[in-house]
Amino acid sequence: MVVVLPEDMLTRSTTAPVLPQVRSAQAWPTPAALAELRERLLEAKKPLVIAGGGGWTGESCAALQRFAEAWQLPVGCAFRFQDLFDNRHPLYAGDVGIGINPKLAARVKEADLILAVGPRLGEMTTGGYTLLQAPRPTQSLVHIHAGAEELGRVYEAELMINASMSCAAQALETLAAPDSVAWSAWAEAAHQDYLANLVAEPVSPLDMAEVVKVLSAQCPDGTIFTNGAGNYSGWLHRFHQYPGLQHHGRTQLAPTSGAMGYGLPAAVAASLLQPQRWVVNIAGDGDFLMNGQELATATGYGAHRLISVVVDNGTYGTIRMHQEREYPGRVSGSDLFNPDFVQLALAYGWAAHRVDHTEEFGPALQAALAADKPTLIHLRLSTDVSTSRSTLSAIREAARQRLGQSAHGKD
Ligand X SMILES: Cc1ncc(C[n+]2csc(CCOP(=O)(O)OP(=O)(O)O)c2C)c(N)n1
Residue ranges binding Mg ion (CB under 5 A)? 284-286, 313, 317
Note whether 275 binds ligand X by CB under 6 A: no
Q: Which is nearer to ligand X, 235 or 350 (CB)?
A: 235
Note whether 256 binds ligand X by CB under 6 A: no
Residue 17: asked if its preceding bond is cis (omega within 30°), the reply is no
CB under 8 Å to 121, separation ≥6 — which residues?
50, 78, 132, 143, 154, 155
Q: Which is nearer to Mg ion, 114 or 310 (CB)?
A: 310
Provide the H-helix boundaries in 84-229: 102-110, 165-172, 184-196, 208-218
Closest approach of ligand X to the CB of residue 282, in Å: 10
- Of the residues 94, 97, 118, 230, which one makes contact with ligand X according to CB under 6 A: 230
- Determine the distance from the C-alpha atom of residue 305 to the mean position of all C-alpha atoms in its chain, rounded to a whole number: 22
- Of the residues 258, 275, 329, 362, which one makes contact with ligand X according to CB under 6 A: 258
8 Å CB contact between 201 and 255: no
* Binding span for ligand X by CB under 6 A among 64-72, 117-125, 150-158, 225-233: 225-233
Closest approach of ligand X to the CB of residue 224, in Å: 20
Residue nearest to Mg ion (CB): 284
Q: Which is nearer to ligand X, 61 or 282 (CB)?
A: 282
8 Å CB contact between 365 and 218: yes
Identify residue 136 by its one-letter amino acid code. Answer: R
8 Å CB contact between 172 and 115: no
Note whether 341 binds ligand X by CB under 6 A: no
Q: Which is nearer to ligand X, 165 or 229 (CB)?
A: 229
Identify residue 55 by its one-letter amino acid code. Answer: G
CB under 8 Å to 320, separation ≥6 — which residues?
331, 334, 383, 386, 392
Closest approach of ligand X to the CB of residue 385, in Å: 9
Note whether 226 binds ligand X by CB under 6 A: no
Task: Compute CA distances 343 → 67, 95, 265, whole Å.
Answer: 51, 36, 20
Distance CA 304, CA 374 (A): 5
Note whether 369 binds ligand X by CB under 6 A: no
Distance CA 282, CA 262 (A): 10
- Cα atoms in the 13 Å half-sphere on the side-chain side of 196: 10
H or E element at residue 78: strand 75-78
Q: Which is nearer to ligand X, 161 or 264 (CB)?
A: 264
Name which of Mg ion, ligand X, none residue 375 binds, using a CB cut-off of 5 to 8 Å depending on partner kind. Answer: none
* Binding span for ligand X by CB under 6 A among 29-37, 81-89, 98-106, 227-235: 227-235
Note whether 231 binds ligand X by CB under 6 A: yes
Residues listed for the chain: 411
Note whether 319 binds ligand X by CB under 6 A: yes
Note whether 139 binds ligand X by CB under 6 A: no
Note whether 308 binds ligand X by CB under 6 A: no
Query: Using CB under 6 A, which residues numbered 278 to 297 contact ligand X?
Result: 284-287
Distance CA 86, CA 75 (A): 10
Q: Which is nearer to ligand X, 58 or 314 (CB)?
A: 314
Chain contacts with ligand X (rule: CB under 6 A): 229-232, 258-261, 284-287, 311, 313, 315-319
